[in-house]
Structure 1
Amino acid sequence: MLEMPSEIVPKFSDSNCKHHQSEDDNTELERQLERLRKNLSSLDSNSPHSAFECLQITTKIQQITKLLESPEKSAFGCGILHEALLRIEQEFVNLLVHYKQSHVGPEITSFRSSEGNFEDLSINSFGDDLIEARNSQIEICNLSAEQSVVDLVNPLVLPTLKSIAELMFVSTYEEELIEAYVSVRMEEVDEILLKLRFEKFSIEEVLNMDWTKLNSLIKRWNWVLKLFVRVYLTSERRLIELIFGNISEGLASSCFFEISKVPMLHLMSLPDAVAIGSPKTEKLFRVLDMHETLVEMLGDVKNLYQEQTDGSILGEYREVLLRLGEFAKGILMEFRSAIQLNLSKTVPVNGTVHPITRYVMNYIQTLSAYSSTLESLLGGRNGKEEYYASVAQMLESNLESRSQFYTDEALQNLFMLNNICYMVQKVKDSDLRSIMGDNWIRLHNKRFQTYAMNYERASWSPVLSFLRDEGIYHPKSSFPSTSVLKERFKGFNSGFEEAYRVQTGWLVPNLQLRDDLRISISLKVLQAYRSFLGRYDAYLDGIRHRERYIKYSPDDLESFLLNLFEGTQRSLNYVYRR
């Protein structure tokens, strides 16, 4: 291991040359310079101690050169000093290269962008599962500046690097020093991005990129930006301050800006390119992820570039953040507009929840995870709540229009019942409740009850109308008409069988709603049937084919009603009561 003194601070003399030096003295100084030059050229650059020895020799050369009196002798000394400074510049570079520590190991490069879990969020692709759009939590997100700093160069060589920098600075070789340092560290920064597997793409390439690939790229970008800024740039700034901080704060800031400006502007180019693309709804969550990352990292970027005089990087960062926010708002408006305009005549034949309902509710449920970001984009909490309410209203209007494509009034109401039930349940069981509010839930529960009542009236009132007492008795007689009773029972049987055939094919996916509807129908149908049967079945005793009229017992009907709303059509035409 390289062993260096804990601190190397050469003393650079600023004293004037003595006015009365003898020629012998100057000659002796020249001989010393020649010996030092030979010693310098004999140093093995591969030796771990060569930089330290080179620093000692160059320091002596610099001190002796200042003692030379005559212009000719001084020029001779300056020539040797120039050679020494070129050599020590190379030693400076060698130390930076040979003792670098990138800290990019398997745990850093093993980021998984979940390409296998890619979500298609287009308006034409619907799913009932909650859209998993949140970016994976990254441990680096929670690191403080102190925790995230790493040693980019072995600490053992830092005293030597610092001393070489001081020597070159007082020797007015600061431009060469900066150029050498920036060149080495820029290569290292490029290597870091390469190890993080973040490719460089032009704006045109991003705009023409397949969404699956762009989706994956954005996920990686969120991870890379946080890691790059909070670990590598923070550590880069610290390294620069350790080497150059005591020399000149301006020099340190200038070095850092030169090293970091290209990769930072490159990282900014991706959100900038995304923000000028088409505002498709499937992009929203990735755009919000990028926006949240930029907001989260703004403080870190400010700290790194607060001393930058032209403010170009911080200014570009803020501009990209602003453009991305406007783009996200555009997608939000596009999403709402897409609901309004999606009016195809396709409806589920069984009256179940429409795919657009599942899509919209899952979409805004996932959107609720970005609550604070939405408030900043939509003008505060009120703006956010108004947006959600308007989306829900657009969806309801869309569903109302679609329900008219059913010719059966009962199915129209069942369709709306299913969809409103789905909407209410999604709001009640998620963070949407805190956004939509309990008043919205109460209002839609009332609408829910109205649709349920309209459904029962449209579907079962015609069946139950056969069980009324009006018109059964002969005029001026206390006995019911047998023929009317036959027709009434036949009409009920036929109506019930048709309702059963049709409504077993209808689907109510919510199990609680399905049970509630069955219970409600059973109470009405069985109560009316038992009462009617109890009053009149005795009047059909003894008639031929009595089983054709009183085909079903109340228990039969109760059993049959349990088959409703399962989406599999059945028939009772073959069933006879034995």
Structure 2
Amino acid sequence: MPRKGMRSICFSPKTISFLSSPRSSPSRLPLPPTPLRSEWMAEQIIENASSLIMKWNPETSAYANVTSLFYENRREAMQFIKCVNNLQKVMHSIVSEDSTHHRLVQAQNLMQIAMKRLQKEFYQILSMNRAHLDPESMSTRSSRTSRSSISDFEDDISPEDDVRAASDSISEVEQVSSIAMADLKAIAECMTAAGYAKECVNVYKVVRKSIIDEGIYRLGVERISSSRINKMDWVALDMRIKNWLEAIKIAMKTLFFGERFLCDHVFAVSESIRESCFSEISKEGAILLFGFPELVAKSKKPSSPDKMFRVLDMYTAISQNWIEIESIFSFESTSPVRTQALSSLVKLSESIYSMLSHFESSVQKHSSKALVPGGGVHSLTSNAMNYLSLLADYSNVLTDIISDWPPPTKSSLPESYFDSPDSDDPPAAAISTRFAWLVLYLLCKLDGKAKYYKDVSLSYLFLANNLQHVVFKVRTSNLQYLLGEDWIVKHETKVGQFAANYERLAWGKVFASLPENPTAEISPEEAKETFKRFNISFDEACRKQSACVVADPKLQDEIKGSIRRKITPVYREFYEKHRSSVGGQRGVGVFVKYAPEDVENCLSHLFFGTVDSGSSVSTSTTSSRLRQLA
């Protein structure tokens, strides 16, 4: 019955004035007493409800059996729900006044028919709109509507108003999902109010759980045992981890977030129902998702650098989504999901600590005495620094992980290793100290390996090469922020000191063979002796040092430049001043082996790790030039 008509009945005069003459208003009849009037209203509501409910009774109407009420005539569907709500109120009223009233049985039968109809409609809307109610669509809608506003929808906003407001700003596809959501919410509220929440919830759980389970399966997340993981080779396990890293992004941003959004909307009328539905639908899949990292962390496969970074990736994925995990799975009944996610974080953290300890131990225990040809960069240096520079990319995560670990014994480290950037944050200081400790392990081990070289100059070149590589990796990675600029400058200075020691020991005889004043007047015999000493020392130095390696271009240029500045200018002046004093063409060929250009050429070919066989070529070239100049 229209609300206006109801109001006119309820507020009509209770009695007719005794002063008025019956004849003065012969057409007006007195209304029945109040109890009769209430009964009459109840009968009107029951009759109106009966007319519409029986029209859509699938057991008595072939049309109703094959047609969807909400799809066929949505306005009539809303009227159907209003009739059911009015019927429910009348039933409460009748029970409170007369529980044996003959209309109560009829009303109860109508209610059961209506509930079956709505249950069927609820299932059809969920099933027919799977594509429009998928988690991705829900998560897109939720970006425009906060979860709090969804949970707090006002009761006086009708489904038509909700859809009409949404249709002004969304696409056609989203309008369909808006209509479906509004209809589901209207049905859920009606069935809950009528005491049929269980039937409604059961339908919702069956349909929506299948969607979540299918989503989890499509994301490649499956139940797997720890024994099976232990039997996998690393390639297979690595592929599963990569797949999981992609899966958690979609699951958190779309799958679970969208389902929570829809569940909160449809069952906004009851928090307990929302909790029950969402928990049963999502808990199993979520625990499966967050349980995988724990299995990987606990696996007994040999530690490898790749595993460390995959474990760090998984830790990062969970920690970055922690706010969403707590928000989406905020119900008490979904606490096992939060517990599983936290457990995985703890196990991942323990695994990371174990692998870091293994790395420290492997550096300390590296016992190979094999020498790197030419004093080049040791494989231990390159591997360790690649590992540490990549590890530094996870410094924010590691700060959280190692803040509770016992720090290394500071007294065993030089003070210079703690000149990291000033920080008032203890965890930040802890991570800097830990990395300084790891680098020190490496440098100490390299210092020990340098002692295996019998040629002391080569041991210094080895130290210069390896420390330069360490400094380069620090400066070109996030290690620079952990160790600090002072650390870098001090160790760059140390590289220079190692290079200077190499230069002094490897080329000292060559430097000493040249006179302090190359243009001073000396006898031909003294000039011959000087050329002879230079030839011998330079030949020997070039022969030994031609096999040396300096991989870093900057360091190579610095060492070559320093040697060149100490030899070439002095030799050139001496050569130009005294070349002609050693005798004729024959004397020049015997005593003057190198022209200045040949010295430059020999020096330019140093540090590429190949033995220079060009001495004879240099000699013949020099002789040719000297004959031309004679």
Q: TM-score, with normalisation over the residues of structure 1?
A: 0.76
CA distance change for structure 1 residues 495 and 71 in 2, over 3 Å: closer, same or farther?
farther
Residue in structure 1 matching 2:456, options 409, 429, 437: 409
SS across alignment from 2:616: coil
Moved more, 549-558 or 62-71: 62-71
Counterpart contact for 1:361–1:426, Cα < 8 Å? yes
1:266 matches 2:284:
no
1:372 matches 2:386:
no
Matched with 2:491 is 444
Larger Rg, first or second structure (1 or 2): 2
Matched with 1:556 is 598
Residue in structure 2 matching 1:516, options 533, 553, 558: 558
C-alpha separation in 1, matches of 2:436 and 2:53: 86
Residue in structure 1 matching 2:548, options 491, 496, 506: 506
Q: How far 1:83 moved relative to its partner?
A: 5.7
C-alpha separation in 1, matches of 2:144 and 2:380: 43
Within 5 Å, give how 1:474-513 maps onto structure 2.
Answer: 489-490=531-532, 492-513=534-555
Residue in structure 2 matching 1:358, options 382, 396, 401: 382
C-alpha separation in 1, matches of 2:540 and 2:597: 18
Moved more, 198-207 or 502-511: 198-207
CA distance change for structure 1 residues 429 and 37 in 2, over 3 Å: closer, same or farther?
closer
1:47 matches 2:71:
no
Moved more, 273-282 or 448-457: 273-282
Matched with 1:229 is 252
Residue in structure 2 matching 1:301, options 304, 313, 325: 325
Q: How far 1:35 moved relative to its partner?
A: 8.8
Residue in structure 1 matching 2:198, options 175, 179, 190: 175
Residue in structure 2 matching 1:95, options 125, 147, 169: 125
Counterpart contact for 1:350–1:506, Cα < 8 Å? yes
CA distance change for structure 1 residues 558 and 83 in 2, over 3 Å: closer, same or farther?
same
Amino acid of the structure 2 residue aligned with 1:218 = I
Query: Over residues 494-518 of structure 1, what are the superposed CA-to-partner deviations in whole Å (9 max), with x where a residue is unaligned?
Result: 3322322332232212222112111
Within 5 Å, give how 1:66-465 maps onto structure 2.
Answer: 70=100, 78=108, 81-82=111-112, 85-101=115-131, 146=146, 154-246=177-269, 248-278=270-300, 279-309=303-333, 311-379=335-403, 380-465=427-512
Counterpart contact for 2:546–2:611, Cα < 8 Å? yes
CA distance change for structure 1 residues 83 and 414 in 2, over 3 Å: closer, same or farther?
same
Matched with 1:133 is none
CA distance change for structure 1 residues 555 and 337 in 2, over 3 Å: closer, same or farther?
same
CA distance change for structure 1 residues 218 and 560 in 2, over 3 Å: closer, same or farther?
same
CA distance change for structure 1 residues 512 and 485 in 2, over 3 Å: closer, same or farther?
same
CA distance change for structure 1 residues 76 and 565 in 2, over 3 Å: closer, same or farther?
same
Q: How far 1:255 moved relative to its partner?
A: 0.9
CA distance change for structure 1 residues 18 and 463 in 2, over 3 Å: closer, same or farther?
farther
Q: How far 1:528 moved relative to its partner?
A: 5.6
Query: Over residues 192-216 of structure 1, what are the superposed CA-to-partner deviations in whole Å (9 max), with x where a residue is unaligned?
Result: 2334344443333333333233333
Amino acid of the structure 2 residue aligned with 1:260 = S
Query: Over residues 436-457 of structure 1, what are the superposed CA-to-partner deviations in whole Å (9 max), with x where a residue is unaligned?
Result: 1122123212321221122112
C-alpha separation in 2, matches of 1:463 and 1:321: 62
Moved more, 180-189 or 230-239: 230-239
Query: Over residues 372-400 of structure 1, what are the superposed CA-to-partner deviations in whole Å (9 max), with x where a residue is unaligned?
Result: 21211222011111111111111112222
Counterpart contact for 2:56–2:117, Cα < 8 Å? no
Counterpart contact for 2:53–2:114, Cα < 8 Å? no
CA distance change for structure 1 residues 245 and 424 in 2, over 3 Å: closer, same or farther?
same
Counterpart contact for 2:580–2:588, Cα < 8 Å? no
Counterpart contact for 1:281–1:332, Cα < 8 Å? no
Identify, as 1 or 2, the structure richer in helix.
Answer: 2
Moved more, 390-399 or 349-358: 349-358
Q: How far 1:236 moved relative to its partner?
A: 1.4
Q: How far 1:256 moved relative to its partner?
A: 0.9
| 5+ long unaligned stretches in structure 1 | 1-16, 109-138, 470-477
Query: Over residues 448-476 of structure 1, what are the superposed CA-to-partner deviations in whole Å (9 max), with x where a residue is unaligned?
Result: 1221122112211244455579xxxxxxx
C-alpha separation in 1, matches of 2:361 and 2:353: 12
Query: Over residues 154-189 of structure 1, what are the superposed CA-to-partner deviations in whole Å (9 max), with x where a residue is unaligned?
Result: 221233322332333234332332222111111011
Counterpart contact for 1:152–1:235, Cα < 8 Å? no
Amino acid of the structure 1 residue aligned with 2:119 = E
Counterpart contact for 1:89–1:177, Cα < 8 Å? yes
Moved more, 554-563 or 303-312: 303-312
C-alpha separation in 1, matches of 2:54 and 2:372: 93
CA distance change for structure 1 residues 492 and 76 in 2, over 3 Å: closer, same or farther?
same
Query: Over residues 66-107 of structure 1, what are the superposed CA-to-partner deviations in whole Å (9 max), with x where a residue is unaligned?
Result: 7696499867875675465345323312210111236879x9
Counterpart contact for 2:506–2:545, Cα < 8 Å? no
SS across alignment from 1:311: helix
C-alpha separation in 2, matches of 1:336 and 1:282: 16
Counterpart contact for 1:352–1:415, Cα < 8 Å? yes
C-alpha separation in 1, matches of 2:53 and 2:551: 95
SS across alignment from 1:573: helix
Amino acid of the structure 2 residue aligned with 1:499 = A
Q: How far 1:425 moved relative to its partner?
A: 2.1
Counterpart contact for 2:549–2:609, Cα < 8 Å? yes
CA distance change for structure 1 residues 54 and 515 in 2, over 3 Å: closer, same or farther?
closer
Q: How far 1:344 moved relative to its partner?
A: 2.0
C-alpha separation in 1, matches of 2:540 and 2:134: 71
C-alpha separation in 1, matches of 2:505 and 2:133: 72
Q: How far 1:47 moved relative to its partner?
A: 2.7
1:573 matches 2:595:
no
Which structure has more relative contact order (CA 8 Å, sep 6+)? It is 1
SS across alignment from 1:350: helix
C-alpha separation in 2, matches of 1:376 and 1:153: 45
Q: How far 1:245 moved relative to its partner?
A: 1.0
C-alpha separation in 1, matches of 2:197 and 2:346: 38
Aligned residues: 515
CA distance change for structure 1 residues 100 and 316 in 2, over 3 Å: closer, same or farther?
same
Query: Over residues 41-84 of structure 1, what are the superposed CA-to-partner deviations in whole Å (9 max), with x where a residue is unaligned?
Result: 22445434367678839938867877696499867875675465
Q: CA RMSD in A?
A: 4.1
